[in-house]
Amino acid sequence: MAIQTDTQPLMANGLPMPADDLQVIKNGLIPPTPHSDIDPSRLTITLVPEDKLKEIPHADDLIFGQLFTDHMLYLEYDPASGWSAPEIRPYGPLTLDPASSCFQYCTNVFEGMKAYLGPDGVPRLFRPKLNMARMAKSAARVALPPFDTDAFLVLLQKLIAIDARWIPRARGHSLYLRPTLIGTRPGLGVTASTHASLYVIMSPAGPFFRTPAGISLYAVSDHVRSWPGGTGGHKLGLNYAPGFHPQRLAAEKGYQQVLWLLGDTITEAGAMNFFIALKREDGHLDIVTPPLDGTILPGVTRASVLSLLNAHPSATSLPHLSNSLRLYTHERPITMPELVAWSASGQLVEAFCVGTAVVVNAISRIGWEERDIVLPSYGGDHIGPVVRALWERLVDIQEGRVEWEGWSVTCE
């Protein structure tokens, strides 16, 4: 039997913590290391032979996240040496110990990004530094090793350039990127993972929702997506699995997505940020979205939508919206009773959700307490002028047809 000393921490199974872990773990945290960070100059590239390259389907046949490009980016972190030399290599399975932290304690972080092909034929990313900053924040929340986000972005751009043939040319289509960081420390001790793998896989994508008529939401409060002091403001794998069962229940009732509530207060729609447009007495519009209070993911598209709304019409003129129309943005709580009242009074003119996968998508109806809030129909599709304006302008910026604030970053 192992003998415990006052200075020898125990793992959850009662055994002494291994000596190598004692050197790198203190109070469950990984201290800054003086050794190797990510170094793009050490990159090695192994390409798939030309005769083994995958066939790319027609854009109309794409199903989100089902087909992956020929190559992936991969790095490993070891507490003794830091980050390994990065590899771009053929897409393929990972080899992991069954006791890895990512399986046992869900030390999994990921990002959602998109690459687009501009009219000049050059691939580009949309505001990637925001994704990198969010990924670093998420990694810190679950005590995974830190990494140089600028260096990682250089590698990501190189991967996109290598697999640029996979970027669909159809409007509103893109190459979806999934940067992922997982804890790989083998062992059942309830402690931070001292080892990690960082990788990127990519998948060509069309519109997330195929219907042009807006989506339906079912508001739930008995299943909670996130809570004050929790992890809802970070992009962690553990935030998503608990939503799958409520999503099934919503589908059984005839709705496409869940509208998440805390009590009667709206937080998110599915895995998207939620917005409404209210008509003011002076004829202008209030655009309202829940505040970033720690329960809501700080979406890159959310931030971009707010910026564009605030810029109209002084700094830019959004399509489909009159320059005489004023848009007043508000980040404040929205409750379901308020939504019902605004709908009944005719003030609620649009509701929509935004996110990397959907860009901007209209909402047609919201189910709550056995009744529906039905949004106004514009030509039968519920897609109002604000949604049309935001979708069109964002896609134009993403695809390089409109230059705005340096948001579109080329990958050459």
The tens digit of pLDDT for each residue in 95-120 reads 999 999 999 999 999 999 999 999 99
- Average pLDDT score over residue span 8-20: 44
- Average pLDDT score over residue span 263-268: 97
Q: What is the pLDDT of residue 212?
A: 62
**Considering the domain boundaries, does residue 9 fall inside one?**
no
Six token digits for residue 303: 């931030």
Contacts of 55 (CB under 8 A, 6+ apart): none
Q: What are the tens digits of pLDDT across the range 304-351?
A: 999 999 999 999 999 999 999 999 999 999 999 999 999 999 999 999
- Average pLDDT score over residue span 170-191: 95
pLDDT surpasses 50 at 79: yes
Contact between 383 and 362 under an 8 Å Cβ cutoff? The reply is yes
Question: What is the pTM for the complete model shown?
Answer: 0.90
**Considering the domain boundaries, does residue 348 fall inside one?**
yes
By residue range, what is the domain housing residue 268? 215-402
Residues 281 and 171 in one domain: no
pLDDT surpasses 50 at 12: no
Q: What are the tens digits of pLDDT across the range 250-262?
A: 999 999 999 999 9
- Average pLDDT score over residue span 121-147: 97
Cis link prior to 313 (omega < 30° from 0)?
Answer: yes
How far apart, in whole angstroms, are the C-alpha atoms of residue 310 and residue 304? 10
DSSP per residue over 348-365, as a string?
EEEEEEEETTTEEEEEEE
Residues 219 and 201 in one domain: no
Mean pLDDT rounded to a whole number for the chain: 91
pLDDT surpasses 60 at 384: yes
252 — phi, psi (to 5°)? Answer: -65, -25
Residues 201 and 219 in one domain: no
Q: What is the pLDDT of residue 63?
A: 83
**Residue that finishes a domain, picked among 205, 225, 253:** 205
Q: Is 346 exposed, middle or buried (0-12, 13-18, 19+ CB in 10 A)?
A: exposed
Percent of the chain with pLDDT over 70: 91
Residues 49 and 195 in one domain: yes
pLDDT surpasses 90 at 35: no
Residues 191 and 219 in one domain: no
Residues 351 and 372 in one domain: yes
Six token digits for residue 205: 């994508």
Q: What is the pLDDT of residue 2?
A: 39
pLDDT surpasses 90 at 62: no
Contacts of 355 (CB under 8 A, 6+ apart): 112, 271, 272, 273, 299, 301, 302
Q: Which residue in 361, 207, 340, 341 sits closest to 273, CA to CA?
A: 361
Residues 276 and 236 in one domain: yes
DSSP per residue over 48-101, as a string?
PPGGGPPPPPPGGG--TTS---SEEEEEEEETTTEEPPPEEEE-------TTBH
**Residue that finishes a domain, picked among 137, 172, 205:** 205
Residue type, position 203, single letter: S
pLDDT surpasses 80 at 23: no
Residues 223 and 197 in one domain: no
pLDDT surpasses 50 at 8: no
